Structure 1
């Protein structure tokens, strides 16, 4: 059970559906994640609703009977927010809001955008989030604004949704254009900053949200990046100079990815993701203690493909080995079939992980610094390889590099004289 902080949590219900493409087990996993998202945003999930359907109802997402059941529960239990696991179309959101008038109606995309609005610390991050919110809300203005005027504050009400002035479509479009111009100017400035970092090798931490990237960043870079057991604790990219065995390189901690990542965020966080695109080496951090970590890997790989950063050298860093606990089967239990959730770490290493290659898979605990020397050595070797390719004679790698250069110059001169 999640430990409650000393804040007022909003009573929330969440809704998902089982379809041909989404099994009951997969829905449970998605709703677990949606509950964690809700908790991160400041809500307490008191009820889950689910329904088996071939496809979402185009009018109300779930069936007529189910929407009435949800409506009754919302009225009887004073629910403040209702969150749907998939993105609702503008018409679905409008229709649901007409039936359920007692609470806010959000979807997963809106919830993620709201968390980003909470987490944005710098003016640049706030600008990126506001742009994503405006792009999401624009097609929903006609059905949302009278509803939002009635419900002030709390989950989903941060950012552009708070002000009456942006209820006008034209004003929102103008705001989007202004934000795009502002981001374009900041992108140009940040591009210059990246160019001014010199020729040092760039290493980027990537991975699903809440896998321990910032903890690893703090351990390796001896920095003080904000860490919290909530989703999207880090929004702004943090870049630190790291030195291993007198070899310096730049290490960046980037925003975490998630399944069903809103396209608006991918677009508005272009500059943040540029740190990944321009990196020389990616450290793909995975929370191996999470039962669905393989799906997380697939989601991150898909996002890397979407942003055209899937062709870079990658080291898989399986983190949180201290928290990994396989399911057990009693010796006399002949009915339970062994699944990957019963694998020990050693058994996992002998599966597809062995095909990743010894040089590209690490198993560590960033919190306890377990196997940390092996991690540092592996990263050093990878960075050194890139460095040697880029700078054949480098003082950090070859203490006698001057002698080597002079020797080569002498050989060239002798060759010219011979000719």
Structure 2
């Protein structure tokens, strides 16, 4: 559990904030290019990378500072942007379905990858390459659990929020992606990085591309805000329990928000962003479009390892503690776990083979947690439990 939390901060969850912030910056620049193309004309790869990185940096810190003013302000931001982005996605779907939809795109079609090094279409390698980004798209499904301490009746409301959230997101994703397919063929999708913009441009013209760029900016803004909000609570809770840097444990006296954890999270997110930009600049032919993929490649392997371990832990607990109170019991659990673990295991092997440097970098950062455990956590656990320590624990949990 400790290493999972350590990896969440240094590898997967903070990098996820940066990845989505980069999507926001990409569509911001795309929108600017449509409205004022002369401003970006002639930009070289270095300038493009610095522009995209700078916008992502500013977004991360804007939302970090906003969340420092307590859960009310951050919750208000979440509510507003959730409503706006759901409405925008529904409007995109309506426009695509309502403008000469072409259902023939759902037939089998052999596509030609634009990259000669891409896996062959229809192969298992191509499937796993696509799954890497699909898994990331759904990776925030458990986010509500990070703020469990601030939820009323969590035993009832957390399962409800998880089921409703996953169901709603799946329905929206399926609806919008089906809408894209009635406007674009699979080959069109391969040739366009901004699929949503291409679909809306074909459906209602240039104004459609502008509107969808705005919609995606709104969606990613809200996503980064929610990640900054919920994940900082995890680092605060770990620090409070002696499993992370102690200086992150105090809450803001005025707003009761984990401001130290928020700022520390922002600093590490900035470091990851800087490393991604620097790594791309060192390549012979740097491209700003590669930043997003590089971050996902960085944490995919490590996240999958912990996903498999979590699934295995569920099986062990069901076997060792069969009578434990469980609000919801998964039917046919061994079959469900077996299928999911088989897919995750195959994906794990593929990711290590396909992206060994990114994968091992994530593993290396995760293993640094063992050093912290040995020097800072384990010595504390060996100390005798004193009267003062018991009182401190009671006050901490009050």
TM-score by length of 1: 0.24
More strand by share: 1
Considering Cα pairs closer than 8 Å and 6+ residues apart, tell me whether 1 or 2 has the greater RCO: 2
TM-score by length of 2: 0.25
More helix by share: 2
**Greater Cα radius of gyration, structure 1 or 2:** 1
